[in-house]
Structure 1
Amino acid sequence: MADRILIVEDEPRMRDILRDYFHAHGVEADLAADGAAGLDRFRERDYDAVLLDVMMPGLDGYGVCRAIRRKSRVPILFLTALGGETHALEGYGLGADDYVTKPFSLAVLLARTTALIRRSRGTSDGTLICGEIRLDTGRMVCTVCNTAVKLSPREYDLLLCLLRNRGRVLSREQLLTRVWGWDFEGELRAVDVQIKNLRAALGPAGGQIKTVVKAGYKLEEA
């Protein structure tokens, strides 16, 4: 599954350049032309990172960052023409994860963005960790409390999706699409059945998968 980012930038040419560059490197990018539109897009779907311009008319990047941080720990990287330590510290104080001053190298921006996404998911070596659950995606091995756990292919895919979105509520529809695929013709109950099976397979860590009434499921530290 490709990473997806949200780019909130009021300069049309810059938006298009960033979108095209990230697309060319396998990262999907949604665009918003101002802060209010950016928040609307953010509320519509889950993102792996948000790139925020600071100086925008109306709701600026700092305001968008504040609003996002009330609900999410998604990685946020500021794009700004404002230099100096004071502005950087203000961004970090609001919960930003990184800060890039214009003009910047697109290659460096891509590298820093993907590094933030990897860090938010776990370790940089492809291992995803949440509480007592550890998933080595390279070897496709899951351990709980340092003990290997046997998962079916569907359980593995479901756990991988939950780990990549840990802390986020995923609806049954979202899980069905991401794990089973768009062409799956079964019922939403398939998600509930596999969640039950996955919880059982994870043993003492099964309780980390929380049911959110009328919303879906999420994976938490404990």
Structure 2
Amino acid sequence: MNRILIVEDEDDIASVLVDYLRHAGYQTERVADGERALERMLQEPPDLTLLDIMLPRLDGMEVLRRARLHGTHPVIMLTARIEEVDRLLGLELGADDYICKPFSPREVVARVRAVLRRSAGGAAAPASPRRLQLDDTHWRASFDGVALNLTRLEFRLLQALSRQPGRIFSRAQLLDLAYEDSVDVTERAVDSHVKNLRRKLAAAVPAHDTIRSVYGVGFAFEEPEG
């Protein structure tokens, strides 16, 4: 049974998270301040930590920074602060995902499942061949055998995103990874190419949002299961 550490100083929110996660089959522990959270994360690392940013005694960003000096277990940040600098700082410090308040408890459970699944890596038995296929020799991409007919730039973007499913990439990171030519391109140009990627992927996987947009941060590739 996976153990989830919930770091949240608001009793009502913490209670809801505990109830939903326990109902989903997780073992939970809740602490209400940053110093206690850091102590628990270092002394007895959980399988995943839900970490609020606004905490007494030590804020969540500092907790994450110190925890990452000693360990790499998954951390999902809970925040009501939507400024881009906070989000990007959290990702650079090693946050695995963000959830903004107010949130749906069901969404939290789904995100927890997804992050734990990614962190398990290759421990699980191999499944069927990956649904997304990329041929970087001929710049060809397909999903479930359906050709996506991507431009080279769209191919590079999809390749960068799909190499680490679930990881949130900022626009600046995607520019560095996908734009190999020395051309003057703004970060917002990524939005247009991602929109085209979504349209082409939707033709192959209409029931799933394969590229998730994270407001104020960037984009993540979410490969459908099955």
**TM-score, with length taken from structure 1:** 0.54
* Higher RCO (CA-CA < 8 Å; seq separation 6+): 2
Residue aligned with 2:70, SS: coil
1:136 paired to 2:135: no
Structure 2: tracts of 5 or more residues without a match: 128-226
Count of aligned residue pairs for this structure pair: 128
Residue 114 of structure 2 corresponds to 115
Structure 1: tracts of 5 or more residues without a match: 129-134, 139-222
1:1-222 alignment, distance < 5 Å: 2-122=1-121, 127-128=122-123, 136=125
1:70-98, Cα deviation, whole Å (9 max, x unpaired): 11111111001101322211110111010
Distance 2:46 2:36 in 1: 15
| Offset, 1:46 | 3.0
Distance 1:86 1:46 in 2: 27
- Structural RMSD (CA): 1.8
| Offset, 1:136 | 1.7
Decide whether aligned partners of structure 1 residues 57 and 46 sit closer, same or farther in structure 2, where only a CA change above 3 A counts.
closer
Residue 204 of structure 1 corresponds to none
Residue 185 of structure 1 corresponds to none
Contact conserved, 2:4 with 2:48, CA < 8 A, in 1?
A: yes
Distance 2:13 2:108 in 1: 13
Contact conserved, 2:50 with 2:76, CA < 8 A, in 1?
A: yes
1:161-194, Cα deviation, whole Å (9 max, x unpaired): xxxxxxxxxxxxxxxxxxxxxxxxxxxxxxxxxx
AA aligned to 2:77 is: F
| Offset, 1:44 | 3.4
AA aligned to 1:136 is: A
Residue aligned with 2:54, SS: coil
| Offset, 1:137 | 7.6
| Offset, 1:57 | 1.9
Distance 2:115 2:96 in 1: 8
Residue aligned with 1:77, SS: strand
Distance 2:30 2:86 in 1: 24
| Offset, 1:115 | 0.7
AA aligned to 1:118 is: R
Distance 2:45 2:59 in 1: 21
